[in-house]
Structure 1
């Protein structure tokens, strides 16, 4: 098939760093949708291909709901258009293949081999579209003895060692409060896609971006793994504390908890003066960070006793005035209404056809020459099926036939 005859039109007119980029999103749940939403926020035209029956799995992952929409789906699918078809139907599969033959980027997060069995694997698409940047997200990657195992966020956190260093010292290992392995994989995928697009400008050829949840978590070990390589000592859990900086952790106060980050000896002197622990400033056990790390068990009770005398709000004011990095540990509602968060435009709202006004967390990427923008609400299931097929040149009779046999929504 001649890919030039199937090049999608620039259906959406908008600005953005990635304006004009066509992304075919075959992914679902979190890792892939988070990546493609990032691309969409930056201006790309993202076509989300969903199953014609239930759609993206997260459309059913509730409560919580906002009207008839799950909060989960609303969180990572703005600025996209929904094409709901049966990929096992030969005609529908051929239409999606045509979209892939004209796309700049294809993203999928099936188990390795599944996309190829559907005729939507990298080799099939690249044969007709050599410039395609094809990104695959999986639990373990496209190679290796675990490649065909199902990928789940919590399993990647467990196998990577991340859970072993997360949690209180005397407690069990715990997972992140968010799906860190999925979100990290989505971020790594976006980075890989942008790198491949940049190289395509030089070579004219696309390539296959292979990202796994496990690899992404291993990469996040950074200084934890480096410390192990240097010493051979298996890292411990430190709760909110830091393994190599003291004091750098959460502390209880008379009311609420506070996070303090004394990142160097200069800040140590400021900290001790501000909280009334001047007698500890030059104590040989605590005068340098290396000694504070060695004597953390002696130091922390002294700090905790002093901080218990005032509230988190009071200590925040005192330490901030002294130039010591500090932050009250906010609940989610407090964080989302923090004046700095509001000032940075990190909370945005958009009108949804059935859910009403939807509030979402905005993109953190701020570009001086045209930042992200929230253009459209997360789509209804199959909201754009007719529009997309019509723009491809599929006539009304053919669309009606596809619908009649239940292969599209």
Structure 2
């Protein structure tokens, strides 16, 4: 029956009309978050949902946070608010009755503690409602009541311990990242719950931990202590392997910096070989380094020899690069297919032709500033249905009367299915991706019931299989010894297919005919050349959802460039925003956008499945990891074009908060650090009292910013005498946001993460057991705990070919002879 938020019949709300018939157009989302969650609502709005920002009379917190357009405080001009509230409708909640009425018309409610709200009562009123709670550490456990900020949650999660230089403090990305990562997980979790609701008829509650969500950005490198590997260390924008192999990613050039995927292995070694041929032609490569094949650099060499080769080669490369500009080097990289991109600023991002040619920017007339403002827009293209373009953010309470006057079809919960199933049970995913970005996304579907078939080949092994953490350090050459493979590909099956064999085409088509999703990471044109274009796949299965996830997407001037997440981070602006102003950019660690993009990819796939269930339509999706990553820096992009302020790396300082830094505890050799961040005068007063400096307790923010160096020295002296764990507990008890900077040993032993079972020990056929990670959310009804480690090489070949495709033994034997199953 139609239900109105005020119980009266006026205008019937038509979600399909408002959202243009996009993927999530039937759904209504109540967004009760502030800066700690509003990105979730933006993502759901882009996917087509009707998102209603429910605000208190004074407006939600982000409206009052700097920077402001024109640098003048105004709740309608906060760039933080502009960044993640477009496409929403604002409703003032003057009393709880309004929220209860709205909840009767909603499908999802997301909150972060900005309101006192009884979610159990709302779910009782509307049993089909999905509620999402975002918090610092999760809703229960020993740290559930701890306060947190972007800085201290970075420290608690662990990725900060991997950013920066060994002789300085661990460093965060200067543009806050914790809550955008947590919000992207919240959006995914809400969509998973809606998928469950289609079969169960009832909603459920979701608990999102910001600490856990941020852990994913370490890309598995915080599990070292669980498998007796040395902890990863800060290497100044590079990568350290096995405690002694250092690979440098960032280099100076004539007019700035470039980043290079400077790594060995079958997947990237050929790119390195071409690059070093150029270094040799420039006369900078030492004679004894010429001719070394980087595809097998780690084979039959002692680690000490490899370490020396890597260090000396990096020095030769650095000398060759200094004479050339970023533009010259990038043009060479595109021509010669090298894994090299420039480190660009937010201003450069705005001027990059590729993004404009793909129609990435939403150009919005904001009214309060001159000219059109460019916002990061659709991060994926879709046919026949894509992402929704969003207009300006709403003014406070702009849509209150409109929303409260609407009616909306409301269907009460149906009977629960007699046998509960996981949300994606019965869904089959063909996974042609590799390394981190794609596999992280498909793993989420696998955790919640999908059959994910990982297509791989020993002719082109996944980089994760051949490098990284080892499950058993005493078996370094074991073909199944990659700890990260076990985790990133948990709950999946393995089918070996050599796509270069002509006979492989028909096998893929047969698989596609019985699958729901086919996702790949091939550069533009690759699949077309082997007869596996989207049109070919849709011909055998018109209901198939086909998704490409690549660095720059399938169209545009940069679409042919292969790449990894370190390159996405550099071309998205992250490198410029990580580290210290007086040194080379220091990260972020490894392949950052390979960790941010999977949540967007997963949300896209789940939304596409939802749309297909209603329409029967298949879909072709083109996801750009770089464009997805830019959304995590929207505030910096806006600050550049609206205020002309070029955000850059500033260590652990914050333009709007003080003190705000990371301080050494104990001896230098111990590498122990404590993050402290005061977001309010009250928190500063509590810190001053803890330090015994009551004379400083009344300092206001402006005074603290002016005396920041003095206060940092005061805290450095105090922290130098402290144990980081004891100090953390003391400060938290006194109401001061703080946390020890944790690396793998501390993360593995963190009582909060143990309580939430973040690292799960699962069976493994070769090693008995292995460790896999959970995401940052838990669903009250749908259990997504991983059950098995990543598959062995071709472990499920016969099962898939025989049972799923119905191939006879002779047919399978012919495929073996033809080299298809290599």
TM-score (norm 2): 0.46
| Cα separation, partners in 2 of 1:293 and 1:135, compared to 1, 3 Å | farther
Matches within 5 A, 1:57-96: 57-61=463-467, 64=470, 66=472, 67=475, 68=478, 69-96=481-508
Cα separation, 2, equivalents of 1:207 and 1:294: 55
Deviations 1:192-245 (A, max 9, x none): 111222222333213222222311221111322233233212112122333432
Equivalent residue in structure 2 for 1:348, among 757, 760, 779: 760
Higher mean Cα deviation, 89-98 or 43-52? 89-98
- Hey, what does 1:33 align to over in structure 2? 439
Stretches of 4+ aligned residues off by more than 4 angstroms: none
Superposed displacement of residue 183, structure 1: 1.6
Partner of 1:4 in structure 2?
none
Say which SS state the counterpart of residue 159 (structure 1) adopts.
Answer: helix
Alignment of 1:157-172 (within 5 A): 157-172=569-584
Q: Any conservation in 2 of the 1:16–1:43 contact (CA below 8 Å)?
A: yes
Assess, with a 3 A threshold, how the Cα gap between structure 1 residues 306 and 328 changes in structure 2: closer, same or farther: same
Contact 2:433–2:521 at 8 Å: present in 1 too? yes
Matched, 1:400 2:813: yes
Which of 441, 457, 464 aligns to 1:51? It is 457
Matched, 1:238 2:650: yes
For residue 6 of structure 1, what is the aligned residue in structure 2?
none
1:308–1:296 Cα change, 3 Å: same
Write the mapping of 1:10-409 to structure 2, written as runs, cut at 5 A. Answer: 15-61=421-467, 64=470, 66=472, 67=475, 68=478, 69-254=481-666, 256-283=672-699, 287-288=700-701, 290-293=702-705, 295-391=707-803, 392-409=805-822
**Partner of 1:90: helix, strand, or coil?**
coil
Structure 1 residue ranges without an equivalent (≥5) = 1-12
**Contact 1:167–1:174, Cα closer than 8 Å, also in 2:** yes
Provide the rounded CA distance (Å) in 2 between the counterparts of 1:390 and 1:52.
Answer: 21
99-108 or 240-249, which deviates more: 240-249
Alignment check: 8 A CA contact 2:564 2:591 kept: no
SS at match of 1:358: strand
8 Å Cα contact 1:165-1:235 kept in structure 2 = yes
Counterpart Cα distance in 2 of 1:153 and 1:371: 30
In the alignment, the residues of structure 2 paired with residue 379 and residue 332 of structure 1 have an alpha-carbon distance, to the nearest angstrom, of 25
Q: 1:346 to 1:230 in 2, by over 3 A?
A: same
Displacement of 1:137 after TM fit?
1.0
Instruction: Evaluate the alpha carbon distance shift between residue 267 and residue 136 of structure 1 in structure 2; reply closer, same or farther with a 3 A threshold.
Output: same
SS in 2 for 1:252: strand
- How many equivalent residue pairs? 393
TM-score where L is the length of structure 1? 0.89
Question: How far off its partner does 1:345 sit?
Answer: 0.7
- For residues 381 and 359 of structure 1, the distance between their equivalents in structure 2, rounded to whole angstroms, comes to 18
**Which whole-Å CA distance do the structure 2 matches of 1:389 and 1:72 have between them?**
27
User: Counterpart of 1:83 in 2: which secondary structure?
Assistant: strand
